[in-house]
A = this chain, B = another copy of it.
Amino acid sequence: MHKKLLIPGPTEVSLEMLQAQARLLIGHRSKEFSELYGGITAKLAKLFEIPADYQPTTTTSSGTLWFDIVGRSIVKKKALCCINGAFSKRFGEIVRGCGKPADFIEVEWGNVVKPEAVAEKLETGEYDTLTMCHNESSTGTRSPVTEVGELVKKDYPDVIFAVDSVSSMGGDRTLPHEMGVDILFASTQKCFALPPGLAIAFVNNKALERAREVPSRGGYTDILEIFKFEMKHQTPFTPNISLLYALDKRLDLMLEETYARIYQRHLDMAELTRKWARKHFEMFPEPGYESVTVSCVTNTQGKNVKELNQKLAERGLEISNGYGKLAEKTFRIGHMGEWTVAGIQQALDAIDEIWNLSR
């Protein structure tokens, strides 16, 4: 039996979207392709209301490629990496893995790096790049990106602010310019509710200007090569055409629902889940920094999460254990993409029944 995915990603994908992939192929240097691709970037620009100095793009990759793109194409001098969980840590480690100097501001998992801590480090003038993970799906924690972005724009205009929005873009409100972010990226298997295989990014001119000064950007990781082809409504390398077909349809649906309503739906699902969690357990993140798309619950009752998932499987549902060292200490419920309040309520009811929790 299929298990509907309430994990932090990949999220559940509807048959309609899966089918949208199954269209006959076209050549990626054809006029038809440029029409498709140009349409997708126009829809991304519209949905995320981006101003003229930003451009959307896609890469055939997971979101992680963008850690490398930032490491290879953006960091020239030194990066400051804000770390509060597994994915923000991987971002920092990959920047270092690219051979670029990087300092880490590391806080306890579940907490967030505050603007003041960032300002203190940026004040040294050592850094030209700042990295952050908007939505740490390992801990269900939402970082104060907008506050940090304001600070960077105002006081450190030479710093490029690159943000992993993999598990929040398009569910939580993530308008790159509004957040003061220069590079914001995500992937299709989270709030876009598509299969994995494509990343989506918004990049502004300031970031591209920086890239022009950075040597050894490589090929697949060269942000300038990507945007050189964007001008022709193409991609530098053969893209995943099937997923682009599906993304095109998904964007139509999102524009129809409107971003405001999508965001409200995600807030409502988060609110419902948090209320349930606080009744029976505790929320794991630092108060006020809970994710809108993934709720990470502290397992204060010491329930067996692995067994829960075995029983949920019989009902065609799957949630997520805690990430890595947080397994059994926490568990995570993803509420993103096509999920609705009614669907999340049913899942929570199922957990209530299995764990004998009072309603």
Q: Which residues of A contact B (CB under 8 A)?
A: 2-3, 5, 7, 9-10, 12-13, 15, 18-19, 21-28, 30, 60-65, 67-68, 71-72, 90, 93-94, 97-99, 187, 189, 195-197, 215-222, 236-243, 318, 320
Q: How far is the CA of A240 from the CA of B63 in the complex (A)?
A: 12
Taking a contact as CB atoms under 8 Å apart, the answer to whether A15 and B22 are in contact is yes
Q: How far is the CA of A240 from the CA of B244 in the complex (A)?
A: 13
Chain B residues near A28: list those with CB within 8 A.
10, 196
User: What's the minimum C-beta distance from A55 to chain B, rounded to whole angstroms?
Assistant: 21
Taking a contact as CB atoms under 8 Å apart, the answer to whether A219 and B13 are in contact is no
Q: How far is the CA of A318 from the CA of B28 in the complex (A)?
A: 13
Tell me what chain A mostly uses at the interface: helix, strand, loop, or mixed.
Answer: loop
Q: How far is the CA of A241 from the CA of B194 in the complex (A)?
A: 11
Chain B residues near A12: list those with CB within 8 A.
25
Q: How far is the CA of A320 from the CA of B29 in the complex (A)?
A: 10
Taking a contact as CB atoms under 8 Å apart, the answer to whether B237 and A64 are in contact is yes
16 A-B pairs in the complex with CB atoms less than 8 angstroms apart:
A3-B26, A21-B22, A22-B22, A60-B60, A64-B219, A64-B220, A65-B237, A67-B219, A71-B219, A98-B216, A98-B218, A99-B216, A197-B239, A197-B243, A240-B240, A242-B242
Chain B residues near A195: list those with CB within 8 A.
21, 25, 240-242
Given contacts A65-B220, A220-B221, A238-B196, contact A27 B15 (CB under 8 A): no
Given contacts A97-B217, A221-B218, contact A24 B9 (CB under 8 A): no
Chain B residues near A218: list those with CB within 8 A.
68, 71-72, 94, 97-98, 221
Taking a contact as CB atoms under 8 Å apart, the answer to whether A18 and B18 are in contact is no
Taking a contact as CB atoms under 8 Å apart, the answer to whether B242 and A21 are in contact is yes
Q: How far is the CA of A65 from the CA of B30 in the complex (A)?
A: 22
| Nearest opposing residue in chain B for A240, CB measure | B197
User: What's the minimum C-beta distance from A249 to chain B, rounded to whole angstroms?
Assistant: 13
Taking a contact as CB atoms under 8 Å apart, the answer to whether A318 and B27 are in contact is yes
Q: Which of B7, B19, B27, B238 contacts A187 (CB 8 A)?
A: B238
Chain B residues near A60: list those with CB within 8 A.
60-62, 196-197
Q: How far is the CA of A15 from the CA of B93 in the complex (A)?
A: 42
Q: How far is the CA of A243 from the CA of B238 in the complex (A)?
A: 15
Chain B residues near A26: list those with CB within 8 A.
3, 5
Taking a contact as CB atoms under 8 Å apart, the answer to whether B27 and A7 are in contact is yes
Chain B residues near A99: list those with CB within 8 A.
215-216
Chain B residues near A2: list those with CB within 8 A.
24
Taking a contact as CB atoms under 8 Å apart, the answer to whether A219 and B68 are in contact is yes
Q: Which of B10, B90, B93, B216 contacts A238 (CB 8 A)?
A: B10
